[in-house]
Amino acid sequence: MPNPRRTTLADVAQAAGTTVPTVSKVLSGRSDVSAGTRDRVMRIVAELGYRGRSGRDAVPRGESSLVDLVLSGVEGTWANRALSGVEQAAEEAGLDVVVSVARPPDDAWLTRLLARRPRGAVLALVDTSAEQLATLAAARVPIVLLDPVRQPPSSVASVGAANWAGGRAAAEHLLALGHRELGILAGQRTHLYSQARIDGFRSAVTQAGLDLPDDRVVHTDWRRERATEQALDLLRGGTTPTALFACSDTIALGAYDAAAALGLRIPEDVSVVGFDDLPEARWLSPALTTVHQPIAEMGGAALRMLLRISGGVPREAPREELATRLVVRGSTAAASVSQV
């Protein structure tokens, strides 16, 4: 049976109620297109599954010495570590890195990226929509998701960490110290890596024959101030947890603030485990026990993967998961007799 006809720029233009040159402008990052038309073209590209290709129908793209690193934000040391890994790998390949920030729901970062015609892009902690991914594919810009926020489609390459194993290691450490009343300060419910850390933690708790009630798992938005509020609620509950697992070191900072506000000592009254192993983890008093995530190495791996796929997008995109490990410091201790 012959293959069905492939979707063309003309098909996209007709469905979007515009012209082929206008569709080409959208996929080339031109600014002389209205926001409404741009959104409509991106939606149609995703609906029709249009993918750019070489030949007469292709959107022109030149060879470039630039690669893009798109971050969800530049605050904090996570972004700095990711950048250092990407930049070092890019330098080894003789490429330069352009850094931009994706600020939802604005698509300005995508338009600027398309206009630069880079060799490709690493998207770090960016919550990309189906329309954005389809537009990048149609414009023939290879991408790698670094620590993807949602489960990526099979056509999109990704690099992440062993989040499930890291969450389990945190629970096993606290259980070995005799803690039985546990709580989790989690990130946003929709974030893939946060849920994986929770699931790993729960698996160890369940295997130990213990229960982790839903009201012992509270979600925050990764900000220290919001984490403090959630930790206060958790520590003021009827049965106070003797140990907390924070799904990031920034959230763990909020746990420290909450404990101080309530007159609780770390680790004598409550043990705390974080996730990331940022420099801040060592600056705290006591220093934070945390799950080390190789952020710089992940950035480097993402850039090298990007270069491997830049010659074309494979049918099944590669995925790579780097190992995590528990780093024990002063914020965890054995549960006291009164806590057991």
Give the class (CATH, top level) of 163-293: alpha beta
Output the pLDDT for position 178. Answer: 97
Q: Which long-range contacts (CB under 8 A, 24 or more apart) does 192-195 make?
A: 192/148, 192/149, 192/150, 192/151, 193/147, 193/148, 193/149, 193/160, 193/161, 193/163, 194/219, 194/247
Band the pLDDT of 283: cuts 50, 70, 90. Answer: very high
pLDDT top residue among 26 and 313: 26
**To the nearest 10°, the Cα dihedral for 98, 22, 129, 146?**
-20
Task: List, in sequence order, every residue forming a beta bridge with 134; answer none if it has no partner.
Answer: none
Residue 135's pLDDT is what? Answer: 92
- Residue 23's pLDDT band (boundaries 50, 70, 90)? confident
Mean pLDDT is highest, among 57-61, 165-169, 230-234, 313-317, for 165-169
Q: What is the pLDDT of residues 291-311, one digit of tens each?
A: 999 999 999 999 999 999 986
Q: Which of 1-5, 135-139, 307-311 has the highest mean pLDDT?
A: 135-139
Whether pLDDT at 117 is above 50: yes
Residue 58 · residue 9 · CB < 8 Å: no
Q: Where in the chain is the domain with CATH 1.10.260.40?
A: 1-60
pLDDT class of 4 with cuts at 50, 70, 90? low
How many CB atoms are located within 10 Å of the residue 296 CB?
A: 18
For the stretch 156-183, pLDDT in tens is 999 999 999 999 999 999 999 999 999 9
Least confident window among 19-33, 74-88, 300-314: 19-33
Looking at the chain, which residues constitute the CATH 3.40.50.2300 domain(s)? 163-293
CATH of domain 1-60: 1.10.260.40
If pLDDT is split at 50, 70 and 90, which confidence band does 230 have? very high
Reply yes or no on whether the pLDDT at 34 is more than 90: no
Q: Are strands 289-292 and 271-276 parallel, antiparallel or unpaired?
A: parallel
Torsion of the alpha carbons at 102, 103, 105 and 108, rounded to the nearest 10: -60
> What pLDDT sits at residue 38?
78
Q: Region 97-103: what's the mean pLDDT?
A: 93
Would you place residue 51 in the very low, low, confident or very high pLDDT band (cuts 50, 70, 90)? Answer: confident
**CA–CA dist 19, 12 (Å, integer):** 9
Confidence tier at 89 by pLDDT (50, 70, 90)? very high
